[in-house]
Amino acid sequence: MTNIIIAGAVGLILSMLGTPLAIRLFSRRGYGQEIREELAASTSGHQGKRGTPTMGGTVIVLAALLAYGASHLATLEPPTVSGLLVLFLMTGLGAVGFLDDFIKIYKQRSLGLRSGAKALGQLVVGAVFAFMVVREPNVYGITPAETRLSFLRDIGPSIGIVGFTIWVLIMIVGFSNAVNLTDGLDGLASGATGTVLAAYILIGNWQLRNNCIDQLGPNCYWVRDPLDLAVVAASVLGALIGFLWWNAPPARIFMGDTGSLALGGVLAGLAIATRTQLLLIILAGLCVIITLSVIIQVGSFKLTGKRVFRMAPLQHHFELKGWKETTIVVRFWLIAMLCSALGLGLFYVEWMPGA
């Protein structure tokens, strides 16, 4: 538990103090946000956001990495393979996002990497993670993941290394893009992912207390490094809260694709390593709903030539309906909290008497 507290506290402090430095540095270099033309033309609130420093996700990633390292130095406990793999996934996807953000700034446009190049970067990082996550067993022979699907724990037979790799890539690309689509309003993605990270701190701690190595039982968990996964979640959550202090409306800095892709990677990595892959769909329900709104919008327009929403992703639909930005953000945060609470409830339900 000490690791978790140290990781969260250090991440919070580093991000809280580091973000203003990033704001000054990025402002001095002209690393400002470009706004989608149709959005800037339709909502006056977004016109004033052009030029706001972006790439703030670099602060989140660096603060989380330093916080994770500090927690292990303070407790003299070595890092684990599971924790390092999830951090690798976060950093690798953050690097893809950084390149995307940098191209937007350099070319002064709202589009960065071409979709194919961006997807290739995500797939390469994801493939390395998928290759490593089913290797490196501990002394009990438990690897960070198994080649099986999981909900509250691993379920069903093995889907094979090829099938599992494809599934992991779908999760990584899907959730990194889902968080990316959730971004766009001040503080929205930060709050939405923060609730999921908080849930994974609780999940990792519970799996530690009920692991099969210490107490073999019908509901115990075969998870390789549950405590360190909770430390990873706490590191990122602390960094995210510190960043949110400056990203809250009206935002003084945006996380950019650097932050959104990295955060999506962390969520996918934690779900895979804690054996709760399908549960993540519920825990991160807001991100899933927003992604579905884009799929519905594109599918409807291609099939019928008509749009279901005034604009996608969903948060911009409500903007065009006249909702204030802060109203949308707070209400969407509430939805995110409810989704995470529902996911946690399902996670704990099998431990209820008579379940």
Annotated binding site for Mg(2+): 180, 257
Give CA separation, 50 vs 47, 109, 185, 319, in Å: 6, 11, 13, 17
Give 29: exposed, middle or buried? Use CB within 10 Å, 0-12, 13-18, 19+: exposed
How far apart CA 36 and CA 32 sit, in angstroms, is 13
How far apart CA 86 and CA 232 sit, in angstroms, is 8
Alpha helices per DSSP H over 147-273: 160-182, 188-209, 226-247, 256-273
Quick one: which H or E segment has residue 155? Answer: strand 154-155
How far apart CA 38 and CA 239 sit, in angstroms, is 32
**Residues that constitute the known binding site:** 180, 257
- DSSP letter assigned to residue 348: H
Quick one: which H or E segment has residue 221? Answer: none
Exposed e or buried b per residue across 60-93, where buried means at least 16 C-beta atoms within 10 angstroms of its C-beta? bbbbbbbbbebbbeeeeeebbbbbbbbbbbbbbb
- Residue 53 main-chain phi, psi, to 5 deg: -55, 140
Q: Are 172 and 268 in contact (CB under 8 A)?
A: yes
How far apart CA 3 and CA 16 sit, in angstroms, is 20
Give CA separation, 149 vs 78, 152, 214, in Å: 29, 10, 24
Q: Which residues, other chains included, contact 354 with Cβ-Cβ below 8 Å and sequence gap of 6+?
A: none
**Assigned token pair, 219:** 């509901």
Residue given tokens 């909702």 in the structure block: 323
- Residue 221 main-chain phi, psi, to 5 deg: -115, 130
